[in-house]
Amino acid sequence: TATKIIDGIPRIKPQRTSVGSSSK
pTM: 0.21
Beta strands in 1-24 (DSSP E): 2-6, 9-13
Q: By the 8 A CB rule, do 14 and 2 touch? A: no
Instruction: Return all residues near 4 (Cβ < 8 A) that are at least 6 apart.
Output: 10, 11, 13
What is the distance of C-alpha 11 from the center of its chain?
5
Residue type at 1? T
pLDDT values of the chain reduced to their tens digit, one per residue, 24 residues: 566 776 777 777 666 655 655 555
pLDDT of 12 reads 72
